[in-house]
Amino acid sequence: MIKSLMNSYGPRERKDIVFLYLKGVVMGMADLIPGVSGGTIAFITGIYDDLLTAISKVNGQFLKKLFSKNYKIALEESSAKFLIILLSGVATSIIAFARLMHYMMEHHAVPTWALFFGLILASITVLAKNVKKIFGKNLIWIILGGIFAYIVVSLVPVETPENYGFIFFCGFIAIMAMILPGLSGSFLLLILGKYQFITGAIKSPFSDNNLIIMAVFTCGAVLGLLLFSRILKYFLTNFHEATMAFLIGVLIGSLKKVWPWKQVLETRIVRGKVKVLTEANFIPQSFDQTVAIAAGLTVVGFTFVYFLEKMAGSKNEQEA
């Protein structure tokens, strides 16, 4: 079994294994931030196509071989090693940084948003390299993507039930956004009123029935991942430029959510905690220390993506 797993698709050199794991860690950190997508990180680090391909290999033939106890063949024909390494990084990050991200968002919101604003800005330039002609039909897809994302990130969080059926649905919806560059699964959880509920279960897995909640959410996420990855891969294969143009628009539209300076317009007390319902972006009128730090972190975020993309490009050239 171990030998079959090692023979499946995935990195073989120790250095490449560590790099893939670290990419998973960064994806996990991004997925914790409402407004930032792990799919964006996967794209700019050069593993997005591999991720979709790996997920698509978990199909009927794979399951048939598993149920027929042809474990060795099933594993060798899959991308099990790639997925295990990457998802281990994602899981490590979510477990390790959920509390930290909660703290940063509550006590240092402006610099945190500024860092991710830079990440998204740079991601737009990375995706734009995959579109040969911006104007014409592709421009229409960019506009449509922008409108779509702007509407989604402008939605107001709602009160929703906490039954297992709805938790399953939340996992199904959130994972689709997590692998779509530009849309954040965490933000959709926020819209569905379940961001704090799910992250609270992750932070305290052994309290109440949090393990069951996490299991139900994971089942929904797995189903959503298997279905949506196939749809996305189909469009990227058959309508590559149009799909990339739409995703660029989604990233542009999502900038509304990650703009650092926000004015709270309406709040509500939910279980003793203040929940923001509506807010408006504003431009700071003076250049003080906070603005300087935020501007610096925006540059850091942009530069970080730039170097990640350069590293991924160099690695791809070496493999070619």
Q: What is the 3-state secondary structure (H, E, C) of 60-100?
A: HHHHHHHHCCCHHHHHHCCCHHHHHHHHHHHHHHHHHHHHH
pLDDT at 320 over 50: no
Structural domain boundaries enclosing 179: 2-319
- Under 8 Å CB-to-CB from 286, ≥6 apart: which residues? none
User: What are the residues facing 276 on neighbouring strands?
Assistant: 267
Cα–Cα–Cα angle for 275, 279, 283, rounded to 5 degrees: 140
- Over range 14-38, report the average pLDDT: 82
Of 69, 14, 66, 26, which Cα lies nearest the Cα of 307?
Answer: 26
For residue 279, the surrounding DSSP H or E stretch is: strand 273-281
CB 206 within 8 A of CB 92: no
How far is residue 291's CA from residue 260's CA, in Å, rounded to a whole number?
10
Whole-number average pLDDT of the chain: 82
Of 29, 26, 66, 64, which Cα lies nearest the Cα of 46?
Answer: 26
pLDDT of residue 88: 92
Dihedral of the alpha carbons of 12, 130, 116, 174, in degrees to the nearest 10: -70
SS3 category, 12: coil
| DSSP label at residue 280 | E
CB 151 within 8 A of CB 198: no
Residue that has been written with the tokens 């968002």 in this structure: 105
pLDDT of residue 313: 61
Helix axes 109-128, 240-258, angle to 10 degrees: 160
% of residues, the chain, pLDDT over 70: 89
Instruction: State the total domains in the chain.
Output: 1
pLDDT of residue 272: 58
Model pTM?
Answer: 0.75
Residue that has been written with the tokens 């959709």 in this structure: 188
Q: Tell me which of 230 and 160 has the higher pLDDT.
A: 230
pLDDT in tens, 224-283: 888 888 888 888 889 988 988 998 898 888 888 888 998 888 776 655 566 666 788 999
- Under 8 Å CB-to-CB from 259, ≥6 apart: which residues? 113, 117, 281
Phi, psi for 270 (deg, rounded to 5): -125, 115
How far is residue 71's CA from residue 92's CA, in Å, rounded to a whole number?
27
Of 199, 179, 201, which Cα lies nearest the Cα of 189?
Answer: 199
How far is residue 255's CA from residue 113's CA, in Å, rounded to a whole number?
10
Please tell me the least confidently modeled range out of 110-119, 148-157, 189-198, 262-271.
262-271
% of residues, the chain, pLDDT over 90: 15
CB 44 within 8 A of CB 306: no
